[in-house]
Every structure is written in structure tokens, then in C-alpha cells.
Amino acid sequence: MSDDLTNLIKSFYPYAERYGVIRALPEAGRERAEILRELDGIARAENRSWEGGRCSGSMYSGDHEHYDFLNQVYARFSYINALQRDMCPSMTRFETDIIAMSLDMLHGSAVQEHHPDETACGALGFGGTESIINPILAYRDRAREERGVTAPNVIVPATAHPAFHKAGHLLGVEIRVAPVDETTRVDVDAVRGLIDGRTIALVGSAGNYPYGTIDPIAALSELAVERDLWLHVDACLGGFILPWGEQLGYDIPVFDFRLPGVTSISADTHKYGYGLKGTSVVLYRDTEFRRRQYFIAPAWKGGAYVSNGLAGSRSGGLLAATWAAMVSYGREGYLRYARQIFETAARMRAIVCSHPELTLMGDPTFCFSFRSDAFNVYHVNDHMAGQGWRFNGQQDPEAIHMCVTRPQTRPGVVEAFETDLAAAVAYAKQRAGQKPRSSAVYGAGSSELPAETPEQVQQLLTLALDVLQKYPF
């Protein structure tokens, strides 16, 4: 194993030297106070990576008072299994309220204007990936039952989240990829050209993760209606902020149930909904879609079993905390924080555009990405990482993005971004032609990836996943 690879692997375990590595269940338990002291130290150290407002995305609230409040709520129901509604009917209250508030925000009532026999509904899951997998499952099974399609395909933009490909892998559904145009939005003509007799659904993002841009959902809706296809809108990232941006007067195109072709929407409550990590809603135009994500085993010897999605047991604490986040902010709170985020994003985009060497990708809103024709933009990432910034890298083309959240709205953060970005551009210009240290790995910030071909990247990431689950030294 090379020194570079050894150092990369050891970087996954920064606490190994200080706290040791547990390889077997301790013979005697540790004192709780001692455990809490250790965890407090770790938490304080890791909080410093985002508290200064230099981390893209990840921490959408960043408000410790808010987190403390949600943790108090969570603690009251953390040990509750949401399956057991006879013991804990509060779970039904929390879940139905969350769904109703989400439908209100995304215009669920508009469904009956263009589909009077249908009524919008929803379900709560454990994250955006489930909110993407479940509608693909519903579409697959409904197409098989009602249309006789046994080898279905779904058409997604090249910018669509990899969760769609995971859904295709798990469910045996072909995922066809449509290119995006120079605006970074999906090419609707290309989507049309990919449709055949086995196509069951189309997908658009509002907005997509790499660039924060919004696909032409209205055009996709028209195409879906014309070809009698279903349309899922992935609003996991933007679902809980774009509606407030529209109300604030920003140019946000309609992407929700006001469009007659939209049949499902995913939106993450744990992002701009400001809930704790591990919750997301999927909304459907009608219960005939939602019912196909249910799993029911009526004849099991342990008793008739039912779950409304992929998960079985779910912590009631997450449902309660999500409900508490939404009702504690209300429309006024979401509007207030959305205004701050949109204004901050606009200021940061203007700073990027002030450098002729940098180019914004498409026409973004609260999340933006930029590239460079003058040098490898990962050099900018390298320098910014040295100043404590944690961007996310994109590839094809190489770019980096900033997903603006509440921590960036704090005083002094935009000014620091302006100063550090100017220095980063100068740094990158001096290193044109050289290989940068950082690369594009989702969820890994500015991590170095010593691999070049897709096969090498896959092998290295496979090794990384193995290492993340067992300390190899």
C-alpha cells in the first residue's frame, strides 16, 4: 500500500490515536460521565468545521438553540417505534400534520383543479433517497398492473441525483439519462427522443444538486401529459426553500402540483425544512400512487405486518422533531430565513462573477456552481480549503459549488468569501497546468482522490467504504 493511500485511509480515523480503536465489546462498561466528556470534546471540535459559515450545504440551520430545542423534542419520543400506533397515536398526529403542511406549501390543493377525481397525499420517510426510490417503486408496480409493462424505463436528467440510479438498480428499472444543455437544465427534446413503449415516467429536478438550477418542469409536464407518462419532481434540495423564494418575488418557475403532469414530488424536511437529519416527504397526486409503496404481509405468523415505505421501525423522535421544526417556524420564519439565504447567495454569486476567470454554471438561485477556462478550478478549491472553506466538487465539467444555508448569512462570512476567493484565483493562476490536490467526491468536500479513470475511482471508493466500516491497521 502506497504512503499516499495509507495516509488517506488514516484520515478516515482521526480519533484512533487519541481514543483508540474498539475491536471487541468492552468487558466492563464505562462511566456515563466519562463517555459524555469524550463525546462533548469530539462534537465541539467537529462543530468548528461549519460554525464559521464556510461549509457548503450540510448544516442547513446551523442554529444551536434550534438544535437544542429539536433535541429536547426528540428525547421525548426517541425510544418510540412509529410502527406501534396503538401505544403512540401521537405519531399519527405528527406524520399527518407534516404531510398536510408540505402539501399546502407545494400546492396540493391544485390537483383537484385539473384532476378533480384525485386528491393529493403523501408519506414521510427517512431521507431523500427513500423519497426517490418509493415513487419509482409505485410507478413500476402500477405500470405492470395497469399497462402490462414488465421491463420499464424512467428518463432522468444527467444532473439527477444518483438515488435514481440506486432505485433502478434495486427495482430492476432501466434508468435512461437525458443530457442537459448549456443552461445546465435537461434538454426536453432529448427526453422526448428517449421515450419508447416501455417508458413509464420522467424526472426533473427543482433544483439539481450540482448546479442548483431548475429543470423546465412545465415543459416536462406538458410532455408527460401528451405521452400519458408520470412525472416525478425531485425537490429534495429546493422543496422547502423555492416556494418561499417565489413568494419573496424571485423568478422561481412553477414546479409543483399546479402543473397537471406532476404526479409526485420529493422534498427533504431535513434540509431547508430545518428538521433533524433523517426525514423527507414524498407527495403524490393521488392515493393510487402512494398505496403502491406500502408493504403488507397479512398472513405472517407474527401477526399482519404493514409498513408505508422501505423502513420498518422508525424512531418517533424524528417525526416529533420534524413536526416541531415546522410548527415552530411557520410561514413567517421560513420566509425570513429564505430572504436571508437568497440575498446572501446573490451577493456571493456577484463576487464569483467579478472574476473574469470564473464562470457561473447556468442560472442558479440559492445554490450555485462555477468553473474556469483559465485553470483547473480545483486549485481554487485547494486554496479555499486551506482557509477553512468546504466546497463540493463537480465533474464533467470540473466545477465547485456553494449551497448557501443559514450559516453563510451570518455577519462577515460574505466578506471573508470575497477576500479568500480573490486569493484563491491568484493561487490557481500561478498553478495553471499543475495537478490540484482535491477532486470531486460527493459528501467529501475537498478530499483528494488519487485515481483517474472511472474504474479506478470505483475501486478506490469501494475500498473507502470497506475502510469506513473496519479500521484496517
Question: Within 10 Å of residue 13's Cβ, how many Cβ atoms?
Answer: 15
Is the predicted pLDDT of residue 363 greater than 60, yes or no?
yes
Question: What are the structural domains of the chain?
Answer: 90-325 (3.40.640.10)
Sheet with 358-360, side-by-side order of all strands: 358-360, 367-372, 399-403, 392-394
Helix (H) or strand (E) holding 402: strand 399-403
Per-residue pLDDT, averaged over 327-331, amounts to 97
Question: What pLDDT was estimated at residue 441?
Answer: 60
pLDDT digits (tens, 9 = 90+) for 107-118: 999 999 999 999
Question: What pLDDT was estimated at residue 448?
Answer: 56
pLDDT digits (tens, 9 = 90+) for 210-249: 999 999 999 999 999 999 999 999 999 999 999 999 999 9
Question: What pLDDT was estimated at residue 304?
Answer: 87
pTM (2 d.p.): 0.92
Question: What pLDDT was estimated at residue 396?
Answer: 86
pLDDT digits (tens, 9 = 90+) for 437-449: 776 565 555 555 5
Question: What pLDDT was estimated at residue 452?
Answer: 61
Is the predicted pLDDT of residue 450 greater than 80, yes or no?
no
Question: What pLDDT was estimated at residue 432?
Answer: 83
| Rounded percentage of the chain residues whose pLDDT exceeds 90 | 79
- E-strand stretches of 179-311: 199-205, 230-234, 262-267, 280-284, 295-297, 305-307
> Which comes out higher in pLDDT, residue 147 or 307?
147
Distance CA 131, CA 283 (A): 9
- Whether the CA torsion 125, 126, 127, 130 is positive or negative: it is negative
Distances (CA, A) of 83 to 80, 91, 320: 9, 9, 14
Is the predicted pLDDT of residue 418 greater than 70, yes or no?
yes
Is the predicted pLDDT of residue 454 greater than 80, yes or no?
no
pLDDT digits (tens, 9 = 90+) for 286-311: 999 999 999 989 899 998 888 888 88
At residue 274, what is the residue type? Y
**Mean pLDDT, rounded, of the chain:** 92
Question: What pLDDT was estimated at residue 76?
Answer: 96
